[in-house]
Chains A and B, each alone.
Chain A
Amino acid sequence: MTTEVGSETDVKKEPEKVPEAQHQTDPVQTDQPDKPADSDAQPVASAAQPEESRSAEPESPQEESSSPDPSSPPATGGQKKEKGISRFLPPWLKRQKSQSQDQASESAEQPQSLSPKEEEEESEPKAQPDGAGAAPNTEKTEEEKEEKQESRPEEVQLEENEKEEEKSVGSADTQPVREEKEAESEVKERKEEKKEEEQVIQQETSVLSPLRLNKKMKMVVCHVTLLDGSQFSCEVEKRAKGQYLFFEVCEHLNLIEKDYFGLSFKDNAEQRCWLDPTKEIKRQIRNSQWQFAFSVKFYPPDPSQLTEDITRYLLCLQLRQDIASGRLPCSFVTHALLGSYSLQAELGDYDPEEHRLDYISDLQFAPNQTKELEEKVVELHKSHRGMTPAQADAQFLENAKKLSMYGVDLHHAKDSEGVDIMLGVCANGLLIYKDRLRINRFAWPKILKISYKRSNFYIKIRPGEAEQFESTVGFKLPNHRAAKRVWKVCVEHHTFFRLMSPENPTKSKFLTLGSKFRYSGRTQAQTRQASSLIDRPAPYFQRTSSKRISRSLDGAPMVNVSDYSHAVDSALTAGAGENGPALDLNSDSKSKLRVQGENIYVRHSNLMLESTEVKPEVNGQPEFIEVVEETVVIEEVIKAKPRSPAPETPVTVETEVKEDRSLSSDSESEEEEAEYHAQTPSASISVQQIEEEPEEEQELIQQAPPSVVELQPITEAEPADSAPSAEEEQATAQPEEEECTDKDDAPNGHAPAAEAPPPLRAVEEEPPVVNGSVSRVEAELLPQVICCSEPPVVKTEMVTISDTFAAQKTEISTKEVPIVHTETKTITYEAAQLDGNGDGEPGVLMTAQTITSESLCTTTTTHITKTLKGGLSETRIEKRIVITGDSDIDHDQALAQAIKEAKEQHPDMSVTRVVVHKETELAEDED
């Protein structure tokens, strides 16, 4: 569907661009490049436009971008945005992209002078597979399109190329799905780094543009509070993604090393949330105002390793805020010292005539600023004579980074005994505080899994030397959102600081009902690598706080485009090479793990089940919660002969419609729970990060399997049901039913409930196979399913943390097992043709991707797998739709709709199987 459109999109794009450009004529022109990226994120149409605009931009000189767009024609209007992008995009990158895309190469060059449209068009088909993931709503369609594209022989190659490119970008997701996401993120990066951006853009544009053409963009004004307190406003499309706005801001700030930063907003509960760059802004802020704050998200442990002074300056501003607000506690002496460096940076040398005592009275150095402190600040200021602003900032940071709470993101929580504690997420791991005391610490290498369920947050700890089983530590957060928030922050910090490249969500999870959230930006390693190649003259910027207003309006001086782009290119290139192998390793390791580590799986899955089905009563005041889940799985399988015009083949569309009805207050939230398996850095790639301890290797192995298994478990009790169905679909349906029933029965029984979950479902585990080299079919046939039928064998994992006395307090009490009544119905519709085809022979997995889109009450996960068997390539699309909501939902209608959509989207495919899983759960829950 989309593929066809995609090729045509180029034309459409241009017109779209024009309107966008006009809209975008915000004060800050430079920001525009970011917008395109954001647009990608936006629903299909919107996403396409930004990209288009980018492409258009290249045509117009970058310099033009600096000048107001209005002057330029509509196409040029896009240039504003383009300008930014074009600057960043180095010729190299463009070329590479083009190569990958084959035809696209031209497009790469375009950014600066060529007409992007043409190039984009060419590249689009290839790019599409990757780009599709971006738009949530449209994702499905996009995905489908992508799938189709992928099925084409050429597409495969393209994907590979793209992958490489992506890697280079730093997003480093090899899988197509990731690529898509990455593509979006990349788009942002592209602004800086054209190569990646171009590819993505092209892809996106191809897919999205057709849709967008006719749409009129609704623009919204976003207000962003910058670190110096000034306000930055810009217009964005109503459906723009977070990254678009973020790039606008970074452009405005002239910030290249932007991966340490992010945008935050306050939700309805006045809680500060990070804006997810890959999702639509509107859906994240919901009913809140379009008011954001630009701030540091990842505090670099060693600021001296930042490349540019402007980055350090922004970090200083953040820390001054943190200190003045009390978030970053420090002693009197430190307050004075840091304050004096701030003065030196902003005012220069102490001048006895100009600087009277009151010259600092307007500035805040501490939460409770005393005259004594001010005097001390002045005294120290005098001693910094001769220090340049950059030096003063550096000294400021050298001292600030040593503060124990530097870069620690605190979250209120309670331990298993209901005692108030604080969870501190930082670069090295998770810190547990009671009052001001550190009572425990879990370094990332010690953490196997991070998950949340309802308002509980769990970490699974690697067993100690003498221990045989993992232990799980649970914390009670004030509410579900808080639990999810801390989980997200953990996932992001772990990825950013510990991995070489972001984890590919697709691979790790097959069918997952929980949150598929993953950090998709660059990791610290990647951003360091990229920034090491920055080769622009130090950008000019004003430090003086008094000039804030003018500064924000003036905008930063333009960056030397050519230099910058080159740097980026090289960086990207380098990165790509490194990332590539890593990815492969991952998949391999996973598959191996899976084979070898069944026990581990079982254990994990049990845990997973536990969390889902058995609501751990960490602190629980038991409540009765009724949960009704309905899952519809539609599997689409497309079989096409390689490189032939793809004769239609049986398509199995799995659509799982899952309905989750919970009476609990949590029901509002989109995802009830999610898990994240910490990957060891080594797994991801670089040996560098691998820690000294030999354990890690083992960990990797172990981890890999868990990731697969656990990920699935994430879906957990509810999802679990659906997951199995999906898998079964591929192989054979029979096992599913059994599993379901088993599951239902199993729900609780085991006393050690906290950790010993109900029996695992082999099915869940299987999905990982998809990613591996082994064909799904085989996996499906495996007896694993049988495991499901086994009685709820509880592998009891004792939650024991004996290492630290402190840990004891955080243990989950395993004594009481919540009572959960679960009713499960599973209905399976199968087309006759079905599986006969593929099951038998092992195929070669060519590609696999997972695309997830979420809306308030539905989550759609689409898995696209391409396998090569004999001379046939088979593409399977499995969709799982989870409908979460109140009982009002008409399941039948939802199912019919899902099937209908599947057929519409893939007219040349056939629906081979539909599984509806409905689960009603009555459980005791604490909230």
Chain B
Amino acid sequence: MMSAFGRFTHAVVRAVPRSLATEALRTGSLGELDLPRAQQEHELYVSVLKQRLGLEVLELPADEALPDCVFVEDAAVVCGDTALITRPGAESRRNETVAMKDALTKLGLNIVEMTDESATLDGGDVLFTGREFFVGLSKRTNQRGAEILADAFKDYAVSMVPVQGYLHLKSFCSMAGPDLIAIGSSEAAQKALKIMQQMSDHKYDKLTVPDDLAANCIYMNLPGKGDVLLHCTPEEFPESVKVFEKLKDHMLIPVSNHEKVKVDGALTCCSVLVCKSSV
């Protein structure tokens, strides 16, 4: 029922719409997004998944009506053979789930839909550690959404973590390995980590990076490649990269996220990873 953590075979991604530059939701002001560079950045990202890591990548076409559609992570939570199609907290993003649902259905996953109209959940608020879920309670995710998630993945404990000052829970943390949580250094991040530690019966190791945004990385455990970690580039966060480089056993792959971060995009945001096991 629980396959090795980080084992993936497929990835679902979506192209960058032109509207991303102008109409995408954003919480901060990191400057104007350079669309061509963002598109190039995304292509690189996809190629890493496809060529470098050998995942089967399902590329959904961009939808100009959905400026944030490149951030597919928010539209679905996949764990094992089950995919929960979310109800994104931002109303403008609700329709992003349509294409995602189709794609995941094609992959043969058990689809669970969040039909309750009082529920909201962004995949970016869902941290799956391999043992349990932490769901950030943010502006985009509410308790009802978390409850539905808990119902969809009954095997796992689902704990709630208040998120303050950031868009999503995974804006400042992610899994960097089995039982290894990458976490930012800010007070908010550390506070969230404390809560997670208190709520869990398991003791996680933590990898603290100086920059909160750098704490969002993608861990995979792939046959033939072992531990793989996609993380920020030295150009973006030089100090944090040094921390990642201490992970000697990981295959470290810096992936630029320079443009997408301007619209609150992080590395994990741009793909939904799926493991189609023989089960």
Chain A residues packing against B (C-beta within 8 Å): 329-334, 337, 399, 402-405, 426, 428, 434-441, 443, 803-806
Chain B interfacial residues counted at CB < 8 A: 31
- For A805, what are the chain B residues with a Cβ–Cβ distance below 8 Å? 137, 160, 162, 195
A633 to chain B, nearest CB (A): 44
- For B143, what are the chain A residues with a Cβ–Cβ distance below 8 Å? 434, 437
Can you give 25 contacting A-B residue pairs, CB < 8 Å?
A329-B154, A330-B155, A331-B80, A331-B153, A333-B80, A333-B81, A334-B154, A399-B2, A404-B158, A426-B201, A436-B147, A436-B150, A437-B135, A437-B143, A437-B146, A437-B147, A438-B199, A439-B159, A440-B198, A443-B201, A804-B198, A804-B199, A805-B137, A805-B160, A806-B160
- For B150, what are the chain A residues with a Cβ–Cβ distance below 8 Å? 435-437
Once A331-B80, A803-B195 are accepted as A-B contacts, the answer to whether A438 and B158 lie under 8 Å apart by CB is yes
Indicate if the CB atoms of B199 and A436 lie closer than 8 Å. Answer: no
Indicate if the CB atoms of A803 and B157 lie closer than 8 Å. Answer: no
Indicate if the CB atoms of B81 and A438 lie closer than 8 Å. Answer: no
B156: interface (CB < 8 Å): yes
A155 to chain B, nearest CB (A): 46
Within 8 A of A (CB), among B130-155: 131-132, 135, 137, 143, 146-147, 150-151, 153-155
Indicate if the CB atoms of B158 and A436 lie closer than 8 Å. Answer: yes
Indicate if the CB atoms of A333 and B160 lie closer than 8 Å. Answer: no
- Which of B132, B147, B160, B162 meets A404, CB within 8 Å? B132
Which residue of B is nearest A427, CB measured?
B201
Chain B residues packing against A (C-beta within 8 Å): 1-2, 80-82, 110, 131-132, 135, 137, 143, 146-147, 150-151, 153-160, 162, 194-195, 198-201, 279
- Which of A404, A435, A439 meets B156, CB within 8 Å? A404
Indicate if the CB atoms of A436 and B151 lie closer than 8 Å. Answer: yes
Indicate if the CB atoms of A441 and B155 lie closer than 8 Å. Answer: no
Indicate if the CB atoms of B82 and A331 lie closer than 8 Å. Answer: yes
A320 to chain B, nearest CB (A): 16
- For B82, what are the chain A residues with a Cβ–Cβ distance below 8 Å? 331-333
Once A332-B110, A333-B279, A803-B195 are accepted as A-B contacts, the answer to whether A438 and B151 lie under 8 Å apart by CB is no
- Which of A404, A435, A439, A440 meets B155, CB within 8 Å? A404
Which residue of B is nearest A434, CB measured?
B143
Indicate if the CB atoms of A331 and B155 lie closer than 8 Å. Answer: yes
**Complex Cα–Cα for A330 and B135 (A):** 19
**Complex Cα–Cα for A435 and B157 (A):** 12
**Complex Cα–Cα for A333 and B2 (A):** 9
Indicate if the CB atoms of A441 and B110 lie closer than 8 Å. Answer: no
Which residue of A is nearest B153, CB measured?
A331
Indicate if the CB atoms of B200 and A441 lie closer than 8 Å. Answer: yes
**Complex Cα–Cα for A436 and B145 (A):** 11
- For A403, what are the chain B residues with a Cβ–Cβ distance below 8 Å? 155
Once A331-B1, A333-B81, A440-B199 are accepted as A-B contacts, the answer to whether A435 and B147 lie under 8 Å apart by CB is yes
- For A803, what are the chain B residues with a Cβ–Cβ distance below 8 Å? 194-195, 198
Indicate if the CB atoms of B160 and A334 lie closer than 8 Å. Answer: no
- Which of A331, A405, A426, A438 meets B160, CB within 8 Å? A438
**Complex Cα–Cα for A332 and B111 (A):** 12
B48 to chain A, nearest CB (A): 30
A801 to chain B, nearest CB (A): 10
- Which of B2, B146, B198 meets A441, CB within 8 Å? B198
Indicate if the CB atoms of B199 and A441 lie closer than 8 Å. Answer: yes
Once A428-B201, A438-B158 are accepted as A-B contacts, the answer to whether A804 and B195 lie under 8 Å apart by CB is yes
Indicate if the CB atoms of A337 and B1 lie closer than 8 Å. Answer: yes
**Complex Cα–Cα for A428 and B2 (A):** 22
- For A439, what are the chain B residues with a Cβ–Cβ distance below 8 Å? 159-160
- For A804, what are the chain B residues with a Cβ–Cβ distance below 8 Å? 195, 198-199
B197 to chain A, nearest CB (A): 10
Beyond A440-B198, A804-B198, list 4 extra A-B contacts (CB 8 Å): A333-B80, A334-B155, A436-B150, A440-B199
Once A331-B153, A332-B110, A428-B201 are accepted as A-B contacts, the answer to whether A437 and B159 lie under 8 Å apart by CB is yes
Which residue of A is nearest B201, CB measured?
A428
Which residue of A is nearest B194, CB measured?
A803
Indicate if the CB atoms of A334 and B195 lie closer than 8 Å. Answer: no
- For A337, what are the chain B residues with a Cβ–Cβ distance below 8 Å? 1
B53 to chain A, nearest CB (A): 25
**Complex Cα–Cα for A404 and B80 (A):** 16
